[in-house]
Structure 1
Amino acid sequence: MLRIGVDLGGTKIEAIALDRSGRVMARERIATPQHDYPATVRAIAGLVDGLEARLGAPARVGVGTPGAISAATGRIKNANSTCLNGQPLRDDLQSALGREIRIANDANCFAVSEATDGAARGARVVFGVILGTGVGGGLVVDGRPLSGANAIAGEWGHNPLADEAPGLPCYCGRVGCVETWLSGPGMAVDHARHGGGALDAATIAARAEAGDAACEATLQRYVDRLSRALAAVINIVDPEVIVLGGGLSSITRLYAEVPARWGRQVFSDQVLTRLLPPLHGDSSGVRGAAWLWPMEEGE
């Protein structure tokens, strides 16, 4: 049976249809209605209806969203697209489409994609990391996303980063969160604090590769912080594979330098966890939404 994945972003909504082998049968992208929840529901339903009409077949539908569904209320919480917060998105989409809909946090969808047919295919326990404007994470066990009792499994970005003082304020109201150090803006702030001037993360990484000493120092601080933050994840979850996503995942030296350092904090005589770049890149989120419906026996 076809699977349709929808990636609900702040500026765009993307939908793809996958066949049972994971081949993309159709894809469509539209702008996200701004600050308009009813229009967002209609837009998602319209994308699904349009893809099914083009392909002439019904599909199972999964949706990746910012935030998560609250276990207490059944409504969206923690979404940076604030018009979603407090809304019964799953119920409204199920009503609009007349079928069961599966919804997961967008970082969970990224992890599902890479665990299903991406870089971590075949691994039982996979941690997917988003390093971009923010820092997110998703945990997949045996191909299924682990949500947790509070629907926050994998949200390592809002843990404190040890051995960093004074901490930086985070938008969540806490101080010293991993996100404030390891996001793209966090790298830029750290560079400026050390006298390097106003540069974005991509420029810092490029200049470090070109031999700029100040940018190299910033990148080395970043590598050290990322290795310590991921070591804490390994100590708790012990994944077989960690896959990096988001804009900073394109910094190729992370894949060698971070594992070379994280063993100092991992409680083991050796670290077998692999750190890998994503196979599907920017498409992982929308593919993972489709794979919220895993393959079943007989398909």
Structure 2
Amino acid sequence: MLRLGLDIGGTKMEGLLLDAAGNERCRRRIATPQQGYATFIEVVTGFIRGFAEEAGAPFSIGIGLPGAVRSDNGCIKNANCLFLNGHPLKADLEAALGQPVWMANDADCFTLSEALDGAGSGANLVFGVILGTGCGGGIVAHQRLLVGPNAISGEWGHNPLPGYTPQFDGPAQPCYCGRSNCIERFVSGTGFAGRFVERHGRSLSPQGILMAAAEGDAEAQAHYGHFIHALGRSLASVINLLDPDVIVFGGGLSNVASLYEDLPAAITPWLFTDRCLTRLLPARHGDSSGVRGAAWLPQR
């Protein structure tokens, strides 16, 4: 059977049709509608029907989005498309399309894709990490996506930064979630760049900071060093809890080659063991992992 995956982001929506072997049949992108919930339902159903015309055969539908489906009432929560929150998106799409729809957080979809036929293929337990605008995560065990009653499995980015001290880590960082010093505020691309401005009064993109560090800029090098230290502490807490075979990285900062060289030494001092045997790998499917994982949702 064919599989359709949709990756719904804040600005764009991507659809990918896969055959039974996971080969790409068709891929399309459109802008994510911003005119409200009713318009969103109309555009998404039209987008899906366009794939149906081209496929000429039935397909399953999986959707990834930057939010989660509540287990108690089926409504969306924590979505950055704010008009989706509080609505039963899954049920409404199923009613409009007349067929089942599977739905999960986009970081969960990323992790599922990489665990099935990506960098974590063949591993028993894979933890997926998104180092982008935010700091999402997902868990796949024995090729099954783990989803708990609170729909927050893998949300490591909203735990407090382990070992935080103002002397080393700087002033407390308020997070949009209402708490302070969330891991996301230190190791996401947004947090990485924002804290460089706070510490040094210079506005650079994450890529600009990394380029400056490579060129010998002392402030940029120190900032990168703190990033690695904070990320190492944070991932050590994940490893101590889950002991994954593989941690797969996605998002803009996952493209930094030195990350995979520098992290093991930053992780090990915080582990309840003397060596880190967890493999740290960049995503095999890159930006396509989210939409590929969405396509796999009905089988996982």
Question: Is the TM value for this pair above 0.5?
Answer: yes
Give the 5 Å matches for 1:172-183: 172-183=177-188
Further displaced range: 168-177 or 270-279: 270-279
Q: Which residue of 2 aligns with 1:284?
A: 289
Q: Which residue of 2 aligns with 1:53?
A: 53
Partner residue in 2 for 1:8: 8
CA distance in structure 2 between the partners assigned to 1:144 and 1:196 by the alignment: 45
Secondary structure in 1 matching 2:270: coil
- The residue that corresponds to 2:134 in the other structure is 134
Indicate the SS of the match to 1:177: coil
CA shift at 1:167, angstroms? 2.2
Alignment identity in percent?
51
CA distance in 2 between counterparts of 1:11 and 1:104 reads 18
- Deviation for aligned residue 1:196: 5.3
Quote how far apart the aligned CAs of 1:145 are: 1.5
Of 42-51 and 170-179, more deviation after overlay is shown by 42-51
- Please state whether the residue corresponding to 1:29 is helix, strand or coil: strand
Q: SS of the residue aligned with 1:169?
A: coil
Distance 1:121 1:207 in 2: 35
Contact 1:242–1:276 (8 Å) recurs in 2 = yes
Please report the TM-score for the alignment, with normalisation by the length of structure 1: 0.95
Letter in 2 for 1:98: G
Residue equivalent to 1:19: 19
Q: Which residue of 2 aligns with 1:94?
A: 94
Distance in 2 between the 1:197 and 1:104 partners?
Answer: 38
Find the counterpart in structure 2 of residue 84 from structure 1: 84
Unmatched segments (≥5 aa) in structure 2: none
SS at match of 1:194: helix
Residue equivalent to 2:211: 206
Q: Which moved more, 1:45-54 or 1:220-229?
A: 45-54
Cα offset for 1:21?
A: 1.7
Aligned residue pairs, count: 295
Contact 1:143 1:294 in 2 (8 A): no
Runs of 4+ in 1 over 3 A off after TM superposition: none
Which residue identity does 1:149 align to in structure 2? P
Contact 2:163–2:233 (CA<8 Å) still a contact in 1?
no
Q: 1:276 and 1:288 mapped to 2: Cα distance?
A: 17
Amino acid across the alignment from 1:140: V
Superposition pairs of residues 263-278 of structure 1, within 5 angstroms: 263-278=268-283
Give the C-alpha shift of residue 172 in structure 1: 0.6
Deviation at 1:279, TM superposition (A): 0.7
Distance 2:255 2:283 in 1: 9
The more displaced of 263-272 and 58-67 is: 263-272
Q: CA deviation at 1:273?
A: 0.7
Could you say what secondary structure the match of 1:292 adopts?
helix
Deviation sequence 1:191-238 (CA, Å, 0-9, x none): 223325111211101221222221111111000100100000001111
1:57 partner SS: coil
Cα distance in 1 for partners of 2:14, 2:198 equals 37
Q: Is the 8 A contact 2:107 2:136 kept in 1?
A: yes
2:225 maps to 1:220: yes
CA distance in 2, matches of 1:34, 1:224: 39
Gaps of 5+ in 1: none
Contact 1:196 1:215 in 2 (8 A): no
The DSSP-based 3-state class of the residue aligned with 1:74 is: coil
Structure 2 CA distance for aligned equivalents of residues 205 and 35 of structure 1: 37
